[in-house]
Structure 1
Amino acid sequence: MRIVIAEDAVLLRAGLVRLLTDAGHDVVAETDTAEGLVKAVEEHRPDFALVDVRLPPSFSDEGIRAAVLIRSAHPDVAVLVLSQYVEERYASELIASRREGLGYLLKDRVADVEQFLESVQTVGSGGTVLDPEVLTQILVRSRRREDLELLTPREREVLGLMAQGLSNASIAANLYLTESAVEKHIGAIFAKLGVTSETGNRRVLAVLKYLGYSDHSR
């Protein structure tokens, strides 16, 4: 994939470039500002943008705001956001919008190189990868916390792993269950949350419905 990186930490940015290049990707531009990111996407029309939430000048939410803009202006560009914390407002806006080719991971996930590269590939292929901590914080702060009562603790565990893009086999391995047991849990989740559409990523639709978001909620 042709990738643009926006990260202000020089060493981390260099490390990301090296990881992605070694994995066979083409890093066509790298920048340390949100403005530079938007310009790089306009100029290079990459397949993928890797974006830090905090970028100059205020180091608050410039990066994720730029990610929201890119998602709107360039829907063909996959976006993976990296952050040291969950920026709730814009994370919710990203998740509530078009879900294909979207990822939000905390930076410590980069330490697991194999998992990180798998996440890049999943998002670049049109999938969705959401960090469990992102989901947890939004769930805790959601005004629809009563929805937590819809699912059993085990179903919530399964749902969290589904949001990471794990297959039924991987979920089974993580939770020490059989694949048939996982399938039953997923069926129960879909039924309780009323996810019946056969279009799109039903697993992520279930997560979004659980969070109380829709394409039109802001």
Structure 2
Amino acid sequence: MTALAAAPPVAPALRVLLSHDDRVFSGGVARLLGDAGLDVVAHHGDAGDLVGRVLADRPDVVVVDVRTPRSTGRDSLAAAVEVRRRSPGTAVLVLSHHYDAALAPQLIGDRPDGVGYLLQHRIGTVDHVLEAVAQVAAGGSVLDPEVVARLLGHRVHDDPLSGLSPAQLRVLAGMAEGASNRGIAESMHVSEAAVEKHVTALFRSLGLERSATQHRRVRAVLVYLRAVGRH
């Protein structure tokens, strides 16, 4: 009798803890995430116990959905910053109607992997959120272009990005948003070949040599996010 091949292991669903300052809305978001196959382990509107819940439940991703700029909204963002500090293995995705000039740079900080900040009025579909959740869970960074632009306002003159051209900065910003060369080319209305030339040039400007153990694209994004996250 021919032996049957073992079935490949099934990857467990991402465990997501959803925090929102509107309980009704958070219930709807939790249902959408659950329908997409994610395991939503908790959702609540109280930012005060968010860190404790994260430490107890150890989710893969915390989605902080903020509708108000003050009061509970700022409390939620501050809690997200604390989650990043106390649970480094937990990815954080902020969905907000507002950019917080003080807390956004703190959230990204010097360790931008596994973090996202999207503005809700620029989120087109549920798939956009699902892709962002998957990307930060995998250790990537997802930043809304408007957030990137605001962060650039904190740049200092001696930062490593000062030698990049405007086109190279746009390409690097696209890389930080998780876009492929093709996606960047479409957004800039140029060819993929032109984007590839910009990528090669910005690697050279940032002093990123080829390495068998490190990915230059990831290293470039890390340099970029550290630079734009400064006060």
2:91 corresponds in structure 1 to: 78
Aligned partners of 2:65 and 2:158: how far apart in 1?
29
Deviates more, 1:151-160 or 1:119-128: 151-160
Gaps of 5+ in 1: none
* Structure 1 residue matching 2:178: 3-state secondary structure: coil
Question: Aligned ranges for residues 154-169 of structure 1 at < 5 Å?
Answer: 154-169=167-182
Report the structure, 1 or 2, having the larger helix content.
1
2:185 corresponds in structure 1 to: 172
1:152 corresponds in structure 2 to: 165
Aligned partners of 1:46 and 1:149: how far apart in 2?
38
Deviates more, 1:82-91 or 1:168-177: 168-177
Gaps of 5+ in 2: 1-13
2:64 corresponds in structure 1 to: 51
What's the offset of the Cα at 1:15?
A: 2.5
CA deviations on 1:124-161 (whole Å, 9 max, x unpaired) are: 11111111111101212434398776333322221221
Aligned partners of 1:104 and 1:142: how far apart in 2?
18
What's the offset of the Cα at 1:100?
A: 2.0
Given that residues 155 and 227 in structure 2 are in contact (C-alpha distance below 8 angstroms), is that contact kept between their aligned partners in structure 1?
no
- Counterpart pick for 1:207 among 224, 227, 230: 224
2:109 corresponds in structure 1 to: 96
What's the offset of the Cα at 1:181?
A: 1.6
Q: Which amino acid aligns with 1:58?
A: S
Aligned partners of 2:227 and 2:203: how far apart in 1?
10
Deviates more, 1:136-145 or 1:60-69: 136-145
Q: CA RMSD in A?
A: 2.7
Given that residues 53 and 63 in structure 1 are in contact (C-alpha distance below 8 angstroms), is that contact kept between their aligned partners in structure 2?
yes
What's the offset of the Cα at 1:112?
A: 2.1
- Counterpart pick for 2:199 among 179, 186, 190: 186
Given that residues 78 and 123 in structure 1 are in contact (C-alpha distance below 8 angstroms), is that contact kept between their aligned partners in structure 2?
yes
Q: Which amino acid aligns with 2:77?
A: I
* Structure 2 residue matching 1:61: 3-state secondary structure: helix
Note closer, same or farther for the CA distance 1:142–1:56 as it changes in structure 2 (3 Å cut).
closer
Question: Aligned ranges for residues 129-144 of structure 1 at < 5 Å?
Answer: 129-144=142-157
Identity of aligned residues (%): 41
Aligned partners of 1:143 and 1:109: how far apart in 2?
28
What's the offset of the Cα at 1:196?
A: 4.7
What's the offset of the Cα at 1:202?
A: 2.1
Structure possessing the higher radius of gyration over alpha carbons = 2
**TM-score after normalising by structure 2:** 0.81
Q: Which amino acid aligns with 1:90?
A: L
Q: Which amino acid aligns with 2:42?
A: A
Matched, 1:8 2:21: yes
Matched, 1:113 2:126: yes
Q: Which amino acid aligns with 1:127?
A: G
Note closer, same or farther for the CA distance 1:204–1:146 as it changes in structure 2 (3 Å cut).
closer
Q: Which amino acid aligns with 1:178?
A: S
What's the offset of the Cα at 1:66?
A: 0.8
**TM-score after normalising by structure 1:** 0.85
Matched, 1:69 2:82: yes
Q: Where in structure 1 do 4 or more consecutive aligned residues deviate above 6 Å?
A: 54-57, 145-148
